[in-house]
Structure formats: structure tokens, C-alpha cells
Structure 1
Amino acid sequence: MRWLQPKALNNARICPGFKFVAHPHKPDKTGDTKQSVDMGMYPVDNVPEAANTATYPGVDWSYLELPMECKTSSTEQDPFDEERGGEPVGDKRKDVLGQILSYAELVFQRQQRMFFFMVIFLGDYARIARFDHSGVFATHKFEYKTKNSPLVKFLYGYSRLSAVERGHDPTATRILSTDPLYKNMEERALAEKPEDPHDYVRDLFKHTLKYSRPWWKLEVHEQRKDDAGRDLEPVIHKFAVGAPYFQAPGVAGRFTRGYIALPVNDKGGIDDDATFVFLKDAWRVDHPEIEQEGEILRYLNQRKVPYVPTLVCHGDLGQVTTSQDHWKELHPEVKKVPLKTHSLYRVVVKEVGLPLEAFSDSSFELCQILACCIQAHAKAYKAGIIHRDISAGNMLMYKGKKGQWLGLLNDWELSKKVDNESLEGRQPDRTGTWQYMSAHALNDPYRRIVIQDELESFFHVLLYYAIRFLPHNLQDVCVGKFLTDYFDDYSIYDGYYICGRAKHDAMVNGFIDLRTYHGNQDDKTKNILKFLWPTLPAKSTPTAGSREQSPSPSPRSSPSPPERPSVSSDRDDERQRNHPINEIISELLRWFRAYYALDTHSQTREPQEENVSNESDVLQNLEEFFDEEVDDESESGDDPLDPDSPMAQSEEYNKLRKKLQTHTAILKLFYNTLKLRAWPPNDKGPDKKPEGGFALPKSAVPSDSMRTSSKRRSMDDIPGGNPPRPTKRSRV
């Protein structure tokens, strides 16, 4: 096939300024994806070179202008099935679609692109595909060897387009190693300030300056209005960034990237007193009813809502996806367009946080950080905003002014004003992150998210980290399966994914049943999940009192908790002690059980421990919160009912359900448990989540079992989980 040879394409001089390069089985040597497209077109100044004695160079995804994939079969390996609206059905076709989507993901990850094209050779035929963050479109198959081949016309015209017309983002400029700004970034990354409690941010920034990845100068266009509400010229802010600190997986959708950034001054450098900030780059859903995240943050900041990001600047960049418009043109008879309009948007905030899994060696700190986030949610809700995406990745920890670790409720892009909430969702498209959504929300794609759903999501986040890092009566070898069963599992009803059994049963029963993992134990208390007071090693003497703060953490280390009292005891006593986190979990499960079903029996409460008195700024803030709230949980003056009567049980359940109608009860639960209970000082252990996620051993899977693919993201692909692994079966 002469046309598939890069030499023939280069000799034809169809594309001046570009060169075609073959990459048979040669992945990018600077990456860990091991993905390699068959051939690509590069700018002549950035053509990859073969290493040492290699015949072909590896793929350079950061400069690849036009990927080209070659398949031998024009039918079996065609990723688009025109007879079925483009969606492939055959396994081989699905595999090829997954393969080209993985290539598309790498191009979007390594470059700043609005869209890009790909040529797919299928035997004697070819297709040209166009990708953006709304969808992918492809031409009909055509014979590319003909004299007037559409391929020649495409390559000729494409090479003569400007960079912006080829899909490159005009608001992003690559910072080359010869640029003085490059040197500025290196100097700031190495300028340690041990006395600064926020020096951990500099360390995080240093880890994003990867020499194998492009560095960028990104613009943020801050929209302004005059006193009459008329639009003014935007103010353009510029920020220097390295590789993303966070990268969402996939191709279609928001494709969120988070950067640790430094502001760039008018001279193109970085001021000595410039402080690190967090820059979020995302293709937000462009819908009249969805506000910009920056406007939500501005509103919350003005109302002094604590523990939310502080807005620096934000704005749309004027770049909008077009796949949804092409779909309308091809389907004029269909009123509802399945593809969403996405607009490139950047927002910059003051705080740079760590993921919750970086909490110190104490569950006290984990619960205190969660209490911060719940208080942020409460204050925002009182101000008229509901978050609607409570998840592990949307809660961070950051250092306050006094150097203490606090919680930060992040990512308000899906939030809404409470008074704008309709009784039903606008479309069957759930809002939130699957693993942490309430069972009710998962079972009803049209459901309007309410406060009870959000409080349940906080519970799921607490359980997620507690199961991973704290001691409990679930065998460590079973943790991977439990995480999959509880957070990732699903059922299918009426064409929709709905809640998996483990999460739903926990909400309905009011406890987490372990018999699926341990069998039915003679000791019935072992059949229910319980967290354990850590047992000290033999001959070890526990210490009482406070511990010194550790140095600022690196991205892989954990910070120390605030000073607080601890207690000493011998090993036998420790085995009998009830971990205080059980009080929070069992009490919340009682409330959820009452909320989900009025006719079930309440769970027996764990015995309470003796009171102590812990102090922290977070607890002080909670006390001030309670002073502002009206106590709506006062007991009735009526005569008590017979506790065994159905009416008494119904009355008790009604009281429990009311605790989920506001934030007061859950915050009091956290406050009392944090302040008055003794907490183990060193109960965080190694992560029990299997590296790479959980998979059944092959011997446990029947050879004739049916495989079912899920459109939901795996827990390993979310913030706070492991970095997403490349896959050939990703879906648009």
C-alpha cells in the first residue's frame, strides 16, 4: 500500500511544513501508557527522532498534529457502524473504537486542544474522524487510492490551516526551555521556605515540573460589567503551569485538569512575592441554567461561607464544542440532542489542597476535615446553594492561617440555587459521582438532589476512607471486593443503571453486613462492620498528650494532626475499647434506615465511651455555628409512649428522619464525638485498597460467563483513587 508509506506522503509534498513519521509498535518513551499510533504528521521543527539503533521513533503525543491508524479489514475493524448510527456492535469494532479513543485521550492530555482530526485506514478504504469534548464524527468510508481521493484534498487543505483552525487553543502558549519563564518556574520550585506552613504547595508544584511533559502559559479571561450591566473588555490574566496536578480521564465531557500555577506579570516573568494558586481548566456544560463555578464561589465568598475556595479570577475562553451542532444537522427530525454543548472555562482559586487520603495517622483528623466540609455545605445551603456532587475527590485538606489542616469543599460547578430546583430533574442524567451518590439518587435518574442525598454522600465518603485506612473487622483481603460491591456495583432496570445491592442494603437495614465476606459467624457482632481500636505492638507503651507537627508533606506523605489529648491503656483494654468513629457511623445508619423505611427495626447502639475534652479551631467554629442555628430537636412534652408499640416505633423513626432535614444534627454528632470522646492517636494504617483495583481471580469466573461493560467510571479513575490506567475500551 504505497499511500501508507510516510516516505511517499512526504515526497508528494502535499503538506508543506509537516512531516509524516511511522511508529509501528513504538510508544512514547516518556510516558507509561505504552500506546502507539501507527503513523502521524508532525511540524517539521518537532519531528521525533529514533533512539540509538531503533528503526522507528516513538510517538511524541505532545507534538503529534494528525494521528493515523492503519487496519487491514475494511469491515471487521471499522470502529463506526453506519447501519447502526455509527455505534459499533461487533467485538473487534468495539476494540478498535476503544483504541482510537485512547489515542484521542492522549492527544487531549498532552496538548491544549479544542478539537483534532484523525485518519483511520481500513484496508483499501479510509475515514477521517473529528474529536471534541462533546463527541466524535467521522466521514463515510471512501477509497483513498483514487485520483481525486478525499484524503489528498483533506491533507492539502488541513496543512494550510492556521494552528487555531487545526484545533489548537489560542489561549495556551507552550513554555520552551529557552524561555526565561521556564527558568523562573524552576527557581520558584526549588526555593524552599521551611518556616512557611504552605511550603508543601511549592513541593507539589515542583513535582508537576516534569521535563517529559509540556509546560504552559495559560490565559484566564475575566469578564467585567459596568454599573449598567454592560459587558466590558475582559481582563486577561496569565499563569505558568507544568503538568496537570489532576487529570480527569476520558474524552467526552468536562475533561477537567487541575494545575498548581504561578501568576505571570506583564513583563512575562514571575514576581518574587507571587503566591501559588490552583487553576482549574474544564470544558463546562454550557447551559442557561448552569452558572459558572466562579460566580458561585464569588457568591459564597461574599456571604463568608467557610471552608470553600477563595476566588481569584475566572472566565470562559470563547471556545465551544460543535459536535452537538453537527448532530442537529444530521438529525433535524429529533428535538432532543443527546450531545451537550461544552465551553472551555478556567477558574483560579487561592487554596491548593491535598486529597483526603493524605490525612495524618489519626482518624480524628479525617473526621474533623469532614466536619469542615459539612459545615461549608450547611452554610452554603443556608445561603441558597446546594452542591450536588459530594464525593471523595471534591473534598480536600489545606492548611489554614495557623498551620492547622482544615477541610475544603471543592468543585461547585454542578451546584444550583435551591430556589431554582424543580421537582424533577431536567433529564435522565444523574448529577454527581456514582460511587458516592445516595441510593435514592442512583435508583431514580430523574430525582432532584435534596439535602438528605447530600448528607448520605458525606457518609459514603467517610466510609470509603475509613475502610481503606482504619482497622476494622473486615479481613484486609476482602477490602477490594467490598469497595467494588459497595461503591462501584450496579443493577440494571428499564435500561438504566441503578444502585448496587451492598449500598442499598446498608441504607435500608441500618448496618453493613459482612456475611458475604466472612460467612455467618457464631459471634453475631462479627457479622456487622465495626471499626477497631488499634492494638499497640507488644512491649510498646502508648504516650499521652500532644505530638509535634511533622514537616510540610510531600505529595506522597501525610501531614500531622492538630494537637489534642490522647489516652493510654494496655493492650487488653484496647481490644475492648469502642472506636469513636463507630458512634458516628452507627448513628448515621440509624437515621438513614429510618429515612429509607419506617417499618424496620432500629440497630442496637454501641456503648458510649467516657467523656474527654478535645479542643481545636474547627470545634470552636462548630460551637459558633450551633449558636446561630435554631434548635429544632427539642423533645416533646407529651407523655412517653410504650416503646414496643408500633406508634412509638413510628414516632421514633419520624424523629430520626427529621435529623436529616437540616445539617444541625449531623454536625452535633461530629462535634460531640470529636470533642468528648477519646480518639486513638495512631490508627491510620497502610492503604488496604488493592493497587490497580479489584478483580476476581480467574478461577472464580465461569468460562461461559457473560461480560457486561459499564458506562460508569471505575473508582480507580476518580480523584482520591489510583491514577487512571489506559484502556482500549473507553467510551464517548
Structure 2
Amino acid sequence: MPTETEVDVCNETSSKISSTRIAPFTSLHYTRDAAMSTMADEIYQKCSSIEPNTSWRNSSPNPVVSIPDTKTDTFQKIAEKTTEIAMYGPLVCLANFRVTLVHLLWMWHWIDALTPFCASLQLLDTHATPDPQSSVFNPDLLTSDISVYNVENTINPVTQFSLMETHIELKLCATDDAFSDEGEFEDDSMASQYRTHLFTVFICADRARLLRWDRAGVTVTPLFQYSSSDTPYLQEFFWRFSHADNATRGWDTSIMDPSPDEETKARQSLKVDDSEILFKFIVYDDCGPNADPTYLITGPPFETHAFPTGRATRCYVAYHLTQGQNVFMKDTWRIVTPGLVAEGKVYERLRDSEIPHVAEFIVAGDIPGQTHRTLVLGTIGRPLTSFRSSWEMLNAIKDGMIAHQQAFQKLLILHQDISVGNILITEDSNGTTSGILIDWDLCQMLDTCSNDARPKDRIGTWQFISAKLLLDSTAPHTVADDLESFLHVFTWVAILFTPNSMSPEDLTAIIQLHYEDMWGAPDTPLGGRAKQLALATGSRTDPPAVQKMLDRLQDHTWMLTTITNALQDRNAWLAEDASRLNSTSSSSCEPYNRERKPKSELEYCRAPQKYP
């Protein structure tokens, strides 16, 4: 486990399958169980072990006040309970006097020995009180068996992942180990809070584990007998945790509260009501180390992450305190690997070379001591799928291609992640719309990156990756692959969001066949057979014609010329064909409402999966 939280390069740059029922732009979900299995597979690849009696203790401070003696018979009674719910009462009595009548029956047995372990914490039985806000990150409302809060916090509803310090999951049977529910709860905690790491406790029958989650993975102790006087690790953990400061508990202390004056200005500019909590971010300029920091005020993100590990990207419309205007802010744990350049550095080069149809770059930098990067752009766009006409949609794609062409020809920068989410529509003060190409964080600078330093695994968003790369994950990524991705973006959006005569069954079949085709091992999936067949239609009767078409995709010229000519006569295009999500054949294909995430409208059977 790295001492400084970094995204695991080996896993993070490899193909991974994630559940759309957890988040949009993910692949391979059919049922809720399959989604959780997918999450478990991902977490399993990012686990490491640590002994609770050695270096685990280095993760938390040693309180000045000595830990009190523990009567282990109280924990032995917990282990003897025959139902999972019956376990809650005694454990909650460790630190909470305000409990239900059932818990009061246990109170006098526990109070003297156990209350001192959680002096500053409040433990609540929350197994039957789901957090209504968890639907933002998960279609199923989630609960935690025992939630742990600061005593100062008033919890209503009881389960509130945004305020939770840690939580305890309980299982009666020893066969329920392997972390069981672990993952989905950490998902909500890490997604609804600003954290560098998170501690959790897993109790299985008469044994327990301690876990530490961060963006690289999870460190977990072996099972230990919590009822034994030889292994009082559970008691020691809560004693240390209750005396730890916010940074040690895992809170990101670089996030601040705005002043009343700053909050007033931000609410007016962002148009958020008083019920939304505002946060103050500080951004350090990597391009100008001596420059003053930039301060931004944000409400909730309009796009957030969905897994406890990984880059954990959040996107905001933020209020720039110095400029007094709204800007775009992207917060992410960046990948650390040779060949990938920090996104801010890429935007700086694009700006200095006056590459068109790229967002205005303001500032970018890492939070000190972390590989946690904040990027600020002066351009705010709307999703490609919000087009008001098909002409507007194709014009935005054309502009994205121009940005791609100029970046490649002038700077030898290859984007490598052309997708429906990375082309936005912008509008100037006169109402004229255009497109911009965003998310350059996975690009390659071919002039400075050797072949050996380039990632060996495929990069991109599954539905739009070229047929060649889907069929061979080790094939080199070339400009032709990105150009093919532009073609797939256009056809994918046209099929799903423009009027057509296809039945829901036919539409679903086409989407699944051409964009969802996937087989092979979960860690190295393959696909692209239908894409390859579609591109090669007629090859048996006229191979030269097909080869001529494929040759055209080696360069931007033919595609840009064709699209530009098609757009010239505006009157030839339908005036009333604004974006509308077409019906599909199954309820599982319908997008579920994900509050604060406009891109959720793109969800269908399996929404786009980004690699890495």
C-alpha cells in the first residue's frame, strides 16, 4: 500500500468492467447482483494485508491518555448472539447512552467498561434507516449496520453517509466473510464526502477486520478474535480513532468553509438555494509555482465518481472568487505513469499554440502531498446529447475533430478518449453554438513520449473504442483509432437521440450488438466484431473500395470535408429534431434518475465504460 495515495497504475490503466447501476458511463450490467460482483472483482485486485498489532497502529495516533482496561466478557456476549440484529444493541452501548428500550436492557452491563473507548463519537443502530441521499450514487437506498458520527452532529435521517466518520458492518456466520457488503458502503461514503482515506470495521461472528480505504485500494487486517484479551484491536482502534484529528480520520482538510460574504456571492452566482452546502477549494498553480493560489466556491458536483477506488473524478460549476464569475472545475486523483502528462500541462500547450475548439485554461495544480489534482477552465458547456437540432450535434462533433486535428498536426498530441461525454456544446452571447473537445487527461504527447513509456493497455470509452483496439487490447493506439471513435460517437448519438422508425427491440439489439459486444476474461475483455463487420461491409465483393474507405480514416481531411459540406446548407436539415432519448426494449435499459448528474440521460442497457 503506498504511503502517499496514488492511483494504482497497473490496475488503473488496465481495462475494467464496472456497473452502470452504480454509475453512468460504465459497462456490463444486467442485474443488481452482477453489479456488486463487478465491484467486488475490482476491489479484490486492489487489496493488501497488514497486521493489526504492527504497522496498522501507525495509521492512527497514540492518544496521550492511556487506553482503559477492557472486560472481554462483554465482547464475548456479543459473539454469542444468534441473530445479526441482536448484535447491534451491545455494540452501540459501547459509546451511546441515548438508545432504544432494547438497547437499555444491555446498558448497565456495558457502560462502565465500554463507553470510554468512544468518548467523542456517537454510535447508532442504522440497519433499518437507509440514507435517502444514497440514491444519488446508487439506485438502491443503502444503510449501514452501525454508523459512527461525531457527538456534535445531529443525525436526521439516522443513516447519513455525508457526515459519517466510519461504520461497522456485522455478519453472524463465519462464511459471510470476504468483506460481503464491503464496497457499496465505502462507495457512498467516499463519494459523498471529501476524503483522502476512510476507516471501516467488519465484524463476522466472533472475529473482526479493520480496513483502510483510499484511492489506490484497501488495506485489510486478517481476522482476529475481538473477544480475546490477547487481541483487543477493536477496542484500541476506537480509542485511537476517537482521539484522532480530522486529517488522520481521513477528511480532506484542504477543503474549507467559505466566509459568509463569500457564500452570499457564490449562491447568487451559482443560483443554489440555502439548503445546499457550499465548499471552498484552493488551487495551486503548477505552471506558476510562485503565483498566488486560486480560491473557488462550489456547490454539489454535477458529475461524481462511483467507486471507492480509482480517480474519483468530480466536476463542478464553481464560483471564482477573484474573477467574480462561474467557471468549470474538475477534481480528480490523477494517474501516475510514464507517458501520461498532467492535464493542466496539456491545456497550457493547447492554449499557447492557439488550438481552436478547446476550453479556456485558467489554472491547474496538485494539492500538496497528494496526487490529487484540480483543473479550472473558463468554458462551461452542455452535453452533446442536449443538442437542439441534429445540425447542432454534428457541427459540435466537427469542431471536436478540428481540435483533434490541430492538436495532432501541430503538437503531436493524440487525445485517445474520443467519446460522447468528451464533446460539449457551447454557446456565445449571440446564441451561436459550437463544440469543444475536453478531457485531455489520457492523451499522449507523441513528440516527448517514447514507445516504451506509452501505456500498453487500451485507453478510451468502450462504446467508442475502435474495432481494432477492441479486438486486440495490445494494439498501438493511432490517429485512425480516434477518427473511428468520432464516427462511433455520431452513430451512437444518432441512434439513441434522434427520431427514427426503429422499434425498441431493434434499437436495443443494434446498440448491444455494435457497441456492447464483449467477451473474454473480465480483466482483458474483447469486443468490436460488429464494428469491424460494419466497416468492412461489402469486402467480399469489392475489397478495393473497402480499403479505400479505410485509408480515408488514416487522416482527418476526408471526414472533415464530408461533414463540412453536409453542414453548409442549414435549410436542408430538419428544424424540429432536438435530442430525445428513444425507447428501448427493457426497463433495465431506461435511465434512472441520478440527481446532480445530467449525463445520466445517456444511460441505457449499458452506458459507456471508460478505460482506464
TM-score (ref. length: structure 2): 0.74
Is 1:46 aligned with 2:73?
A: no
- State the shift of 1:662 in Å: 1.6
Letter of the 2:286 partner, please give it: Q
Equivalence for 1:668:
561
Q: 1:224 to 1:370 in 2, by over 3 A?
A: closer
- What are the within-5 Å matches in structure 2 for residues 247-326 of structure 1? 247-265=304-322, 274-320=324-370
Equivalence for 2:93:
7
Equivalence for 1:77:
176
Equivalence for 1:62:
162
1:594-630 CA-partner distances (Å, limit 9, x unpaired): xxxxx5345xxxxxxxxxxxxxxxxxxxxxxxxxxxx
499, 505, 511: which one aligns with 2:533: 505
Letter of the 1:43 partner, please give it: N
In structure 2, the gaps of 5 or more residues are: 1-76, 79-86, 97-110, 591-596, 606-611
471, 474, 489: which one aligns with 2:499: 471
1:141-187 CA-partner distances (Å, limit 9, x unpaired): 01112234111111111222221122111211245xx9443333332
Q: 1:424 to 1:456 in 2, by over 3 A?
A: farther
Q: 1:718 to 1:188 in 2, by over 3 A?
A: closer
CA distance in 2, matches of 1:472, 1:374: 26
Equivalence for 2:438:
410
Is 1:144 aligned with 2:226?
A: yes
1:641-662 CA-partner distances (Å, limit 9, x unpaired): xxxxxxxx63x55543332222
Q: Which moved more, 1:448-457 or 1:428-437?
A: 428-437
SS of residue paired to 1:482: helix
Q: 1:693 to 1:292 in 2, by over 3 A?
A: farther
SS of residue paired to 1:235: coil
CA distance in 1, matches of 2:293, 2:148: 33
Equivalence for 1:346:
374
CA distance in 2, matches of 1:657, 1:695: 33
The runs of 4+ residues in structure 1 deviating greater than 6 Å are none
Kept after mapping to 1: 8 A contact 2:191/2:307: no
Q: 1:224 to 1:215 in 2, by over 3 A?
A: same
RCO greater where, 1 or 2, for CA within 8 Å and sep 6 or more? 2
TM-score (ref. length: structure 1): 0.63
386, 398, 411: which one aligns with 1:358: 386
Q: Percent identity?
A: 26
In structure 1, the gaps of 5 or more residues are: 50-56, 81-95, 191-205, 226-231, 266-272, 321-342, 511-598, 603-648, 697-716, 726-731
- State the shift of 1:292 in Å: 0.9
- What are the within-5 Å matches in structure 2 for residues 154-303 of structure 1? 154-174=237-257, 179-190=260-271, 206=272, 211=275, 214-224=277-287, 232-233=289-290, 235-265=292-322, 274-303=324-353
Letter of the 1:284 partner, please give it: R
1:5-59 CA-partner distances (Å, limit 9, x unpaired): 212334422123221111022111344341001112111111414xxxxxxx531
SS of residue paired to 1:318: coil
CA distance in 1, matches of 2:448, 2:372: 25
Letter of the 1:659 partner, please give it: R
The structure with the larger Rg is: 1
1:310-333 CA-partner distances (Å, limit 9, x unpaired): 11111011344xxxxxxxxxxxxx
Kept after mapping to 1: 8 A contact 2:387/2:579: no
Equivalence for 1:100:
182
Q: 1:296 to 1:259 in 2, by over 3 A?
A: same
Is 1:488 aligned with 2:516?
A: yes
Kept after mapping to 2: 8 A contact 1:39/1:68: yes
Letter of the 1:60 partner, please give it: Q
Is 1:16 aligned with 2:143?
A: no
CA distance in 2, matches of 1:257, 1:20: 30
- State the shift of 1:502 in Å: 2.7
SS of residue paired to 2:460: coil
Equivalence for 2:128:
25
SS of residue paired to 1:222: coil
SS of residue paired to 1:186: helix
SS of residue paired to 1:36: coil
CA distance in 2, matches of 1:382, 1:346: 28
SS of residue paired to 1:25: coil
Letter of the 1:254 partner, please give it: R
Equivalence for 1:127:
209
- State the shift of 1:693 in Å: 6.6
Kept after mapping to 1: 8 A contact 2:287/2:364: no
Q: 1:47 to 1:481 in 2, by over 3 A?
A: farther
- State the shift of 1:426 in Å: 4.7
686, 689, 695: which one aligns with 2:580: 686
State the Cα RMSD in Å. 2.9
CA distance in 1, matches of 2:604, 2:197: 22
